[in-house]
Structure 1
């Protein structure tokens, strides 16, 4: 995981936060053993706080891996809540199901194997939180789909906007230049940052936790999605 904060700040975050649950610690070790990246405990905790502050009932994830970020958010959703996990790898989703079956949570986790950009079109809003953490080149497309299903006042959060498969200097240059990135991941993240920066109906903050997240909050100017219908 790319380090954005110096060791003193990292030490304070570790000391000032409660220990992750045994399940989350087990999931972190699972990722390390397989060299599979997770958002880490600092971003995970921040996602939980965002879901709590927004009184989230429904969450959609573009890219869930084996469920680490979902395991942070699921426990704070209500009993009639729903968290939709997506991943193109069905084996990873099977691992996610195995982990989340042991989570201290009452909300429902739904597991969708396949392309998240296709899966989201099978769902009607509103979703209170949408988390984007899949193929970086496809971040801009994910944002457009997220807007379509987002609740009024909802949050769209994107991971890896400063580090991971990208670097902050490369993203900065691409954001300033309006294109010309050396790789697809950087081009996708830069296009996403420009999009949320300029999007009407949203207020966005870039937060240097983990590998960098972009948090975009819908304002009153954002057109709400249609309410889900029975049938």
Structure 2
């Protein structure tokens, strides 16, 4: 079984009627995810994971704008809702049931956004992942600002992020664009003091964070265009 192939096919109602988009670049035989833009900086993500050769799980996440992969566990901001678990291989009935549960929950997702925003202002748990995420958010905002100002080719960067998130650009090409825009930001000296101290001018580290920032934004933008 390929989680990517089966999940994307089974969750067609979420894709066609609820603006969920497949996170194709991180899809594989053991992991699949779909995301929907709930608010400008909030994603709702459905993550299916083959935890072992014998068990698969499906969870719904309500999080700030981040890539729907295993790192969500370490962010400790946002909410994870258990949807279902089944022994392998899972069947169509199980997947359809998971989709039905998610659709039933969607009208209630908005109730979790105020406490999520409160956590964003003052997180009870501050992990290293959380600290890096703050810089990730800063990089996203900087690229968006540059795009509005029509500087540094940032508008092109954003379109490439959409193409990559939609599975229409290869990793190497997108990584090169992340490195290019990261270099521009370092040259301009526009990072906050905290981010500048954290990265110490290390282009590789900035590029790694930029990748996550732009990939997540691209998923959200794809979803926005469907709404």
Q: TM-score, normalised by structure 2?
A: 0.32
TM-score (norm 1): 0.31
Which structure: larger Rg?
Answer: 2
Richer in helix (by share) = 2
